[in-house]
Amino acid sequence: MASTGTSASHRKSAILVSPSTLEFIMTCEAQGGFVIEAAQAEEWANRILRASRPDATIVREHSARYGAAVVQMIQERLEQLSETDDLMCRAYERKSHKDPYSKYIIVTQSVTKHGIIRKGSQLFLDKEDFPVSGPIEERTKQILKDEGIEHSEYITTGSGGYD
């Protein structure tokens, strides 16, 4: 099921190209993957860390550093487990920039679209541009299962110009 919205895994940016015509280079990105709850991601990250440093733990604090540490530990593990797929772990959802992340996403695919638009225009990814579940996702589900990680069904997130 496709989901659209603003999150850490959604990127939309604009760079001014021509001040005289107010044209911008616009970038939209959509990603597909599996969402895991923060508590489970944090436990997984600590388990990964303690495998190499038994006395270490990632201490929860209300800052981006904590989320970055969780992402880094999971990312390193994904790279060990999946030599052929470019899997990414990203912080996914939080209420405000002051709050810790409530979810993380294991990204299996990413699609980016660039375009030049005039001020006041929009650039959207079309429905057919969004990633769809395939063999990479099946391998990723097996990795998560082997690691004991519960996850959402495959979702897409990003900017889309459709209902």
Model pLDDT for residues 103-139, shown as the tens digit of each residue: 999 999 888 877 766 666 666 666 666 777 889 999 9
Sort 85 into a burial class: Cβ within 10 Å, 0-12 / 13-18 / 19+: middle
For residue 60, CA distances in Å to 16, 66, 115, 123, 157 come to: 39, 6, 40, 38, 27
Round to whole Å and give the CA distance between 20 and 155.
Answer: 41
Q: What is the largest CA-CA distance in the chain?
A: 60
Tell me, what amino acid is at 86?
Answer: D
pLDDT tens track for 32-48: 899 999 999 999 999 99
pLDDT per residue as tens digits for the range 61-116? 656 678 888 999 999 999 999 877 889 999 888 777 777 788 999 999 888 877 76
Phi/psi at 23 (nearest 5 deg)?
Answer: -95, 145
C-alpha 133/C-alpha 139 separation (Å) is: 11
pTM of the shown model: 0.72
